[in-house]
Amino acid sequence: MSIAIALPEGMRTRNRPTLPEALLRAGSPRESSNPYHNALEQLDIAAQYLELDPGMHEILKHPQRELTVHFPVKREDGSTQVFTGYRVQHNIARGPSKGGIRYSPLTDIDEVRALAMWMTWKCAIVNIPFGGAKGGVVCDPKTLSNSELERLTRRYASEISIVIGPTSDIPAPDMGTNAQTMAWIMDTYSMTQGHTVPAVVTGKPVAVGGSEGRNDATGRGIVFITREAIRESGLDLRGLRVAIQGFGNVGGVAARLFAEAGAKVVAVSDANGGLYNADGLDIAALRDCTNRDGTLTTHGGGDTIGTRELLELDVDVLVPAATENQITAENADRIKAPIIIEGANGPTTPAADRMLHERGVFLVPDVLANAGGVVVSYFEWVQDLQFFFWQEEEVNAKMEAIMVRAYRDVRTMAKRENVDMRLAAHLIGVKRVADASTLRGIYP
């Protein structure tokens, strides 16, 4: 799988805009809590720098398909509640669309649009043959019984079955969903086909076609990317002081793997609050606590801190792995960590991005840093299609090779063009998608 990072033909000889000029042409970064507005602003900056054809820019600004569904679910008390769900396919120029499904009371169509767009760039940056998609259901999974969750999932899967499929759009877990959720979706879709279709989703349990290594993939990818990023500073994972906002499928796994690699995880947080211990936290004990109590805050192994306070700690590496819009223009000047590795999607607003860049903070963006999950989802999809499965060591090695190569390509672009890592990543990702779209042309 070759990765070309060449800029558009003749770009080096044209009087292309510098980063500040590109920002000015795209408009000064606005502080917005709307993730879709932020995703569009990031695209605008990359499009200006690439001198992207205006027509192509317009195409990439809009999702190709959007499906909104309203569906009833029987509750345990016998009542019926109508839920709202979404599935957005941003772009399929490079292959079937790919993206997770989140269950959250805060999700809306603009969040799903943004996540789908970021998935498009993410798949292109690591050069796997997918476009970007995302799904969501407006609900709080913590308030639903297991039976209610199953009924909700199966009805939502039925509603979106008109757009998903193993060669069209392949969902995966995200916030509020897990391997069991994917098993229900796979089974529901398979019932409509009359035979088992394991490749319709990824992130499934291994027993029903899931891949070894998938559960840890996003967190493991973050550790690989961190290792690459700190080398330029002469640092090593052993003894590295790390703070992680978020202790779920991404942050919790990353914390465990950092600790196993010898790093000192000094702070972690979940939705209820955080803990800090300058000597390092006992991550294994915190994971046991979370599994037992549903939160890490009941553990007594550190000082209680707020989730926003964690972001401002004096550490070597900060990993925001919770939700969008955590680092903003309001707190960017108080961030002390010299290196930020984005585990969540969209944790930094464009305005904060620029402030951090001007202060010399080295930030590895979400579309690169957290791509380990979709890389191993790609492996799972390939294995399902072939009905031939790999060992975990092989999965991890293949994922590491792709993540390291993608990091080095983005870093090379950043140095060569004297831009930050986010813009460098978008220059690669947006150009690959634009090139594929141009080659395919406009139908009819």
Name all contacts of 304-308 with Cβ < 8 Å and 24+ positions apart.
304/273, 304/274, 304/275, 304/276, 305/267, 305/269, 305/273, 305/274, 305/275, 305/276, 306/269, 306/273, 306/274, 307/245, 307/269, 307/270, 307/271, 307/273, 307/274
- Name the active-site residue from 61, 98, 122, 134: 134
Phi and psi based region of residue 10 (left: phi greater than 0; alpha: psi -120 to 50; beta: remaining): left
Distance from C-alpha of 224 to C-alpha of 394, rounded to nearest angstrom: 15
Phi and psi based region of residue 230 (left: phi greater than 0; alpha: psi -120 to 50; beta: remaining): alpha
Say whether 134 is catalytic: yes
Distance from C-alpha of 268 to C-alpha of 302, rounded to nearest angstrom: 10
Q: Is residue 228 packed enough to be buried (19+ CB in 10 Å), middle (13-18) or exposed (0-12)?
A: middle
Cross-strand pairs, 362: 339
Residues forming the active site: 134
